[in-house]
Amino acid sequence: MEQRTYNQYCATARTLDLVGERWTLLLIRELLTGPKRFGDLQASLRGLGTGLLAARLKHLEREGLAHKITLPPPARTPAYALTEAGEELGPAILQLARWGLKWAMGERRETETFHPGWAVLGLRACFNAEAAAGLRAVYEFRVDDEVFHARIDDGTIEALHGPAQHPDATITISEEAFVSLTGQGLTFADALESGAASASGDSEALHGLKDLFPLPPPHTRKADGTPP
């Protein structure tokens, strides 16, 4: 497959030559949370056919943005991981996510798929480092069967898939309630206050959750204020 190009000697155009094709940035989004097997990527990216997924992964390998690895024991299976160049796209993708939460989300459409695990990057995108100054806590989030956690360490965050070994606080919420919160620009703290979510653990950690992940309220993109 011939690679399309803008034929412009411009850093933005050159970058879009590499990652501007459909599905490419979403593949990078998936790999930003750690190595993934081919089947994992298929499961997360419904609508992306096997042939096109293979082609996009070969493109990322060819351009030095991803590479094949073997997962450590007990898995010992082939997977894909980002290279240093691929990892450095992380801030740009997080900024796109922040923009999208403010200007593009709104209510979920009937045809749209959703994976609670996408919130791992969402936590990073919404993280308020100032509110986390001096806070050291591990939060585990359970959205139906999906589990992920965030480790807060004095203004920094590490968000990962899977359960935490020793969470200071655990927040449980249904997928339906979680999607509703996202569409309305509400937070986990709002969900706890309304009863849409439940929590257990250290009271100080739960109190600190209030300002950690603020979501911008949805905005309209039209100048007259009407929904697009």
**Close Cβ partners of 75 (under 8 Å, ≥ 6 residues apart):** none
Q: Write the CA distances from 154 to 41, 66, 89, 113, 129, integer angstroms.
A: 33, 31, 24, 35, 8
Task: Please give the structure tokens belonging to residue 214.
Answer: 């603020």
Give the per-residue pLDDT at 1: 54
Domain(s) labelled CATH 3.30.1050.10 in the chain stretch across: 90-228
Q: How confident is the model at residue 19 (pLDDT cuts 50, 70, 90)?
A: very high
11-88 has which CATH code?
Answer: 1.10.10.10
Q: How far apart are CA 189 and CA 213, in angstroms?
A: 9
At 113-142, the pLDDT tens digits run 998 889 999 999 999 999 999 999 999 999
Span(s) in the chain for CATH 1.10.10.10: 11-88
Q: Classify domain 90-228 at the CATH class level.
A: alpha beta
Prediction pTM value: 0.89
The average pLDDT across 4-27 equals 95
* Tens digit of each residue's pLDDT (9 = 90 or more) over 173-209: 999 999 888 877 788 888 888 899 999 999 999 998 9
Indicate whether 78 pLDDT > 60.
yes
Which pLDDT band holds residue 25 (cuts at 50, 70, 90)?
very high
